[in-house]
Amino acid sequence: MTVAVRFAPSPTGRLHVGNARTALITWLFARRQGGTALLRIDDTDAGRSREDLVGAIDADLAWLGLDWDRRARQSDRLDLYRAAVDRLVAEGRLYPCYETPDELALMRRLLAQRRLPPIYDRGALALSDADRARLEAEGRRPHWRFRLDPAPIEWHDLVRGPVRFDGADLSDPVVVREDGRPLYHLCSVIDDRDFAITHVVRGEDHVANTAAHIQMFQALGAAPPAFAHVPLLADAGGAPLSKRLGSLTLAVLRDERGLEAAALTSLLARLGTADPIEPFDGLDPLIEGFDFAHIARSTPRFDLEELERLNARILHRVPFERVAGRLAVRGQGDIPPAFWDAVRENLTRLDDVADWWGMTQADIRFTDRLSPEDRDFVAAAAAHLPDDPWDETVWDRWIPAVKTATGRRGRALFRPLRLALTGREDGPELRRLLALMARARVRDRLTA
Ligand code: GLU
């Protein structure tokens, strides 16, 4: 059997970390199994779907490094859904209902008052032809529900293990709206059948849907695929992340926080698994180790600080070639490879490199941060700056001369030099920075 999976976002909002985790896990499984991955855009809800978000979803997934073997849009497949709906109506598996949203809300409230689950009472099944004709004459249009079989529904979930529902405990899902547009449930099942999806991977908020979907597969004459429901993320404090997801979109993490996609994939692939979270520069090591059996059922905590720490560890090892394009896009195209090598171990976010670059190139002085004695000391050191070539050998030609001339060594020597040259007490190796600053600038900063 060739594995076939799909990731099925609705273009009603930007992708957030929760979506990204589902997409990543789905994709890793496909790649691990040598299978195919379909990107399916669930855009049957014409009122809420936005075309610009389709492009944004594509860009966000590409940023993560996830590629797709096939693509589909539900809005291209409406005729196929209609044909399946007609067939299920003819077979009596879909039935027309006339309750208004207000009436349905009232029914749910009454059930809640009696502490009963919000299961539709199937009142519409009792309507006679005459009743329906009267309702239609009043101007009501039917929506359609899928009639569930009140039988046990069981599957072996790849994450949750054995799962069991009783059809009688579930509400018949609405599959066609008043305006005739098919809704998610049936469209999803038809697509999964037609694209021969072997494994449906999605968030655990879909577990009850899956029970209904299994009966829909059977009604459509198809064998249900395997299912894997991954736990939803919580925030660092353990609260459901759903409230904060708007601020944790991939766009925010990339554009506002300037984080690396590799940091996010390293974290999301291993969060809530038995495997250690490590900073991986790419996806290959994550593919290699992927196994649904490693995903715990408990709710994993997504911690932005952990992501930032991973981000720093990834940046510290990234070679210049990997960031050159992004630096150019950010207007930092003049930063030379040697500078990147000198400062990368001091970066937390890519944008920090611009701060260091600006600091070394700008016309600024820091001597006012030094004590009067230290100011005299750095001025004395300036007098011993070696001549050209101004390169990595400068340091070794300069520092011994400074030691001899001033008698200073260790911290008393290096701290004032670093402060005068960079304005900071810590940072990249001075030996390398010095070679990347102009001689005149170094002299100015020491003698101001
Ligand atoms: N569009 C659905 C969602 O975003 C897809 C769920 C599924 O994977 O079936 O929740």
Same domain assignment for residues 351 and 401: no
406 in the same domain as 381: yes
- 357 and 378 share one domain: no
Task: With cut-offs at 50, 70 and 90, classify the pLDDT of residue 63.
Answer: very high
Average pLDDT value for residue range 308-337 = 93
Distance separating alpha carbons of residues 80 and 73, to the nearest angstrom: 12
Q: How confident is the model at residue 243 (pLDDT cuts 50, 70, 90)?
A: confident
Judgement on whether residues 417 and 437 belong to the same structural domain of the protein: yes
Q: Is the pLDDT of residue 42 over 80?
A: yes
Q: Which of 157, 176, 195 delimits the end of a domain?
A: 176
Q: Once rounded to an integer, what is the mean pLDDT over residues 260-287?
A: 96
Q: What pLDDT was estimated at residue 448?
A: 76
Indicate the residue among 176, 202, 231 that finishes a domain.
176
Task: Output the CA 265–ligand 1 centroid distance in Å.
Answer: 20
How many angstroms separate the CA atoms of 322 and 339, rounded? Answer: 14
In a domain, 429, yes or no: yes
pLDDT of 246 strictly over 80: no
User: 392: CA distance to ligand 1 center in Å?
Assistant: 56
Closest residue to atom 10 of ligand 1, CA basis: 9
Q: Which domain holds residue 144?
A: 91-176
Which residues are 200's β-sheet partners?
Answer: 227
Residue at 355 is within a domain: yes
Q: Is residue 159 part of a domain?
A: yes
Q: Give a yes or no: residue 67 inside a domain.
A: no
**CA 263 to centroid of ligand 1, rounded, Å:** 25
* CATH number of the domain residue 147 falls in: 3.90.800.10
Mutation choice for ligand 1 from 5, 6, 10, CB with most ligand atoms inside 8 A = 10
Atom of ligand 1 nearest to the CA of 200: 8
Residue 28 in this model has a pLDDT that exceeds 80: yes
The pLDDT value recorded for residue 261 is 97
* pLDDT score of 238: 87
**Residue of 5, 12, 39, 188 with the most ligand 1 atoms within 8 Å of its CB, for mutation:** 188
Q: What is the dihedral of CA 17, 20, 24, 30, to 10 degrees?
A: 150
144 in a structural domain: yes
Q: Are 261 and 191 in contact (CB under 8 A)?
A: no
Q: What is the CATH number of the domain that holds 396?
A: 1.10.10.350
Distance, CA of 356 to chain centre: 29
Ligand 1 midpoint to CA 233 (Å): 16
How far does the centroid of ligand 1 lie from the alpha carbon of residue 40, in Å? 9
pLDDT of residue 330: 86
Asked whether residue 95 falls in the same domain as residue 172, the answer is: yes
- Residue-wise pLDDT tens digits, 159-172: 999 999 999 999 99
Average pLDDT of the chain? 95
Q: What is the pLDDT of residue 254?
A: 94
**Which of 184, 195, 213 to probe ligand 1 with, by most ligand atoms within 8 A of CB?**
184
Count of domains forming the chain: 3
Give the end of a domain, one of 160, 176, 192. Answer: 176
Residues 374 and 334 in one domain: no
Q: pLDDT tens, 345-360? A: 999 999 999 999 988 8
Q: Which residues line ligand 1 (CB under 6 A)?
A: 8-10, 42, 188, 202, 206
pLDDT at 242 over 90: no
Q: Is residue 108 part of a domain?
A: yes
Phi and psi at 149, nearest 5°, equal: -85, 125
CA 42 to centroid of ligand 1, rounded, Å: 7
* 3-12, 47-56, 327-336, 372-381: least confident range: 327-336
In a domain, 17, yes or no: no
* Average pLDDT of the residues in 116-130: 96
Is residue 236 one of the residues assigned to a domain? no
Q: Give the H or E element holding residue 277.
A: none
Residues 384-435: pLDDT tens digits? Answer: 999 989 998 999 999 999 999 999 999 999 999 999 999 999 999 999 999 9
Give the 3-state secondary structure of residue 11: coil
